[in-house]
Structure 1
Amino acid sequence: MATWNGVITNAGNSLLNEWVNEKTLNFDSAAAGQGTVAAAAMMAQTALVNEKQTASLLGGERVSSGIRLKLRIAAPNTAYTLNQFRVSASVDGGASAMIALFQLEQGVPIPSKTESPDFVYTFYALISCSNTGTWTVTVDTSACVTQSDMSAAIAEAVKTKQDKIMVKGLLLGDGNGNISAAVAGKDYGYPLATGSGAPTDTTEGTAGQHYYDGATGKEYVCNGKDSSGKYQWKLSGASDAADLTYNGESLGTFLDGVSVDLDTLSKGLDGSKPLTGKTDPTSSTKGSVGQSYLNTDTMQTFYCTAANDQTGVYTWEKPKGGGVSPQLEVSVATGSAITCTNGETTLTGTSVGGKCVFDLPGYGTWSLYATLNGQTTATETVVVDQVKQYAVTLSYFAATLTVTAESGAVVTAALGTKQYTGTCGSNGKCALTVNYAGTYSVTATKSGVSSSTASASVSTSGGSYTATVKFCTLTVTIDSGSTVKAVNGSTTLTATSSGTAKFYLPNTGTWSVTATKNGETATGSVACSSYTGYTLELSYVKVFGVCWNYNAQSTALTRLKKSTDPNGLVNVDITTNPAPAIGTGAGSSPFDNYLPWSGMDEYNIINNAVSYKKGQSGFSRSSYDTVVFIPEYYFRIIDDAANKKRYFYIADKAKSGFTKHPGSGKYVGRYNTISGHYSKTGAAPLVNLTRASARSGARGKGSKWSEYDFASWCAVWLLYLVEFSDWDSQSKIGRGYVDGNSSAISSGGTDSMTYHTGRAAGTNGKTAVQYRHIENPYGNVFEFIDGINFSDGTVYVCLNPASYADDTAANYTNIGSKIQSDGYITAIGVAAAMPWAFFPTGVGGSETTYIPDYAYCSSGWRVLFVGGGWSLGGYAGLFYFYAGNTSSVTLSDVGARLLFHP
Structure 2
Amino acid sequence: MQNLIITNKGQELMAKLIAGTSTATFTKICTSDYDYTDTVIEDLLTLYQIKQETLVSKVTRTDTTIVEVLAVMNNTNLNEGYYIRGVGLYAKGSDDVEILYAVSITDTPDYMPPFSGSTVSGITFRLNTKVDNSTQVTLEVNPAAIPTIDQLQNVENTLNVHIGNSVYSESGVHGFRYHNDILQFDDGEGNWIDIETGGGGIAPNNVSDATIKVGNGKLTIKWSDPGDTVVDGQLLCTWEGTKLVQKAGSFPENIKDGTVILDNKVKDAYLSDGFEINGLTNGTTYYFKLFPYSDKNAVNENVANRLSAAPQPYKIMGLSIDLSNSNPATSITYTDDAVGMTPGSAAWDEFFGHYPCLLNAGVEVGKLKTTDYTKFENGTAADITSGSAGDVMVAFPRRGVKITTVGTTMTIKMTDDPDNADFEYLAHTRGSTRKEKFYLGAYKGFTTSSKLRSLSGKTPTASQTIGTFRTQAQANGAGYDQSGFYQLIFRQVMYLLKYRNLDSQTAVGRGYVDGNSAAIATGGTNTKGMDFGETTGKLQMKLFGLEDFWGNVYEWIDGLVTNSTWNILTATDSFNDSGSGYTNQGQGATADVSGYMSVPQGTSETGFIVKTAGGSETTYFCDYAYLYDGCVAYFGGSWGAASSAGAFRLRVNSAASSSGAYVAARLMYL
Residue 651 of structure 2 aligns to a residue whose secondary structure is: strand
* Distance (Å, rounded) in 2 between the aligned partners of 1:812 and 1:862: 15
1-structure distance, mates of 2:324, 2:247: 45
Alpha carbons 1:613, 1:619 under 8 Å: kept: no
Aligned residue in 2 for 1:766: 538
| Equivalent position to 2:321, from 539, 548, 555 | 548
Q: Taking structure 2 as the reference length, what is the TM-score of the superposition?
A: 0.51
Correspondence for 1:699 among 470, 474, 477: 474
Q: In the alignment, which residue of structure 2 is the partner of 1:16?
A: none
Question: Helix, strand or coil: the match of 2:351?
Answer: coil
Picking from 822, 835, 844, the partner of 2:614 is: 844
Please list the CA deviations of residues 408-432 of structure 1 after superposition, one character each: whole Å capped at 9, or x if unmatched. Answer: xxxxxxxxxxxxxxxxxxxxxxxxx
Among residues 383, 398, 410, which one is paired with 1:632 in the alignment? 398
Q: Which residue of 1 aligns with 2:439?
A: 667
> Cα gap change, 1:656/1:863 in structure 2, threshold over 3 Å: closer, same or farther?
closer
User: Is residue 621 of structure 1 aligned with residue 378 of structure 2?
Assistant: no
Contact 1:516/1:522 (8 A) holds in 2: no
Which of 547, 551, 554 is the matching residue for 1:775?
Answer: 547
Preserved CA contact (<8 Å) 2:567 2:587: yes
Indicate the SS of the match to 2:411: strand
Mark the CA change 1:480 to 1:701 in structure 2 (over 3 Å): closer, same or farther.
closer
Letter of the 2:644 partner, please give it.
Answer: Y
Give 2:557's match in structure 1, choosing from 758, 763, 785: 785
Contact 1:864–1:882 (CA under 8 A) maintained in structure 2: yes
Take 2:247 and 2:587, find their aligned partners in 1: how far apart are those partners?
A: 48
Q: 1:807 aligns to what? A: 578
Q: Secondary structure at the match of 2:426?
A: coil
Deviations along 1:502-551, one digit per CA (max 9) or x if unpaired, are xxxxxxxxxxxx9964798987899xxxxxxxx99852212212111111
- What TM-score comes out, normalization by structure 1 length? 0.38
Cα offsets for 1:539-579 (capped at 9, x unmatched) = 22122121111111121367766xxx4xxx42x6544231x
Distance 1:546 1:521, change over 3 A: same
**Paired position in structure 1 for 2:417:** 653
Contact 1:709-1:787 at 8 Å conserved across structures: yes
The 5 Å alignment of 1:166-565 reads 485-490=248-253, 517=279, 539-556=312-329, 565=335
1:830 maps to which residue?
A: 602
Per the TM alignment, residue 649 of structure 1 is displaced from its structure 2 partner at its CA by 1.5
* Residue-by-residue CA offset, 1:193-216 (whole Å, 9 max, x unaligned): xxxxxxxxxxxxxxxxxxxxxxxx
1:887 equivalent in alignment to 2:652: no
User: Per the alignment, in what secondary structure is the counterpart of residue 869 of structure 1?
Assistant: coil
Distance 1:522 1:786 in 2: 45
- Residue of structure 2 aligned with 1:864, choices 623, 633, 641: 633
Distance change in 2, residues 1:574/1:804 (3 Å): same
Against the structure 1 CA distance between its residues 856 and 775, is the aligned structure 2 distance closer, same or farther, given a 3 Å change threshold? same
Letter in 1 for 2:317: F
| Residues 794-835 of structure 1, C-alpha deviations (whole Å, 9 max, x = no match) | 1100111xx21112343433344147221100101134xx44
Runs of 5+ consecutive residues of structure 2 not aligned to the other structure: 1-112, 115-213, 220-245, 260-275, 289-307, 369-375, 429-436
**Deviation digits for residues 763-782 of structure 1, max 9, x if unmatched?**
62110000121000111111
Letter paired with 1:758? F
Give distance in 2, aligned partners of 1:695 and 1:618. Answer: 31
Q: In the TM superposition, what whole-angstrom CA distance separates every residue of 1:609-663 from its partner, at most 9, and x where no partner exists? A: 221211244632213311100111122334343xx22221111123645325221
Q: Structure 2 counterpart of 1:669, which letter?
A: G
Give the corresponding residue for 1:358: none
Q: How many matched pairs?
A: 375
CA distance in 1, matches of 2:641, 2:462: 16
Q: Residues of 2 paired with 1:749 and 1:845: CA distance?
A: 32
Contact 1:612-1:618 within 8 A present in 2 as well: no
Counterparts of 2:323 and 2:624, CA distance in 1: 17
Q: Which amino acid aligns with 2:358?
A: N
Q: Which residue of 2 aligns with 1:595?
A: 351
**Contact kept in structure 2, 1:778 and 1:869, CA below 8 Å:** yes
Over 3 Å counting, the alpha-carbon distance change for 1:764 and 1:537 in structure 2 is farther
What amino acid does structure 1 have at the position aligned with 2:416? D
For residues 827 and 862 of structure 1, the distance between their equivalents in structure 2, rounded to whole angstroms, comes to: 20
Judged with a 3 Å threshold, the aligned counterparts in structure 2 of structure 1 residues 618 and 813 are, in CA distance, closer, same or farther, namely farther
Which AA in structure 2 matches 1:668?
A: L
Kindly state the Cα deviation for residue 856 of structure 1 after the two structures are TM-superposed. 2.3
Question: How far 1:726 moved relative to its partner?
Answer: 1.2
Q: By how many angstroms is 1:715 displaced?
A: 1.0
Instruction: Please state if 1:607 is matched with 2:361.
Output: yes
Q: Which amino acid aligns with 1:610?
A: E
Give secondary structure in 2 for the equivalent of 1:822. strand
CA RMSD of superposed structures (Å): 3.8
- Separation in 2 of the partners of 1:480 and 1:756? 29
Output the CA distance in 1 between the equivalents of 2:218 and 2:463.
Answer: 60
Report if the CA contact (8 A) 1:487-1:493 is conserved. no
- Which residue of structure 2 aligns with residue 748 of structure 1? 523
The amino acid that maps onto 1:757 is D
| C-alpha distance in 2 between matches for 1:722 and 1:557 | 14
Shift in CA distance, 551/696, structure 1 to aligned 2, threshold 3 Å: same
Amino acid at match of 1:670: A
Cα deviation 1:141-184 (Å, max 9, x = unaligned): xxxxxxxxxxxxxxxxxxxxxxxxxxxxxxxxxxxxxxxxxxxx
Highest CA radius of gyration, 1 or 2? 1
Distance across 1 between alignment mates of 2:637 and 2:217: 50
Whole-angstrom CA distance in 1 between matches of 2:587 and 2:287? 46
Residues 486 and 493 of structure 1 are in contact (CA less than 8 Å); yes or no, is this contact kept in structure 2? no
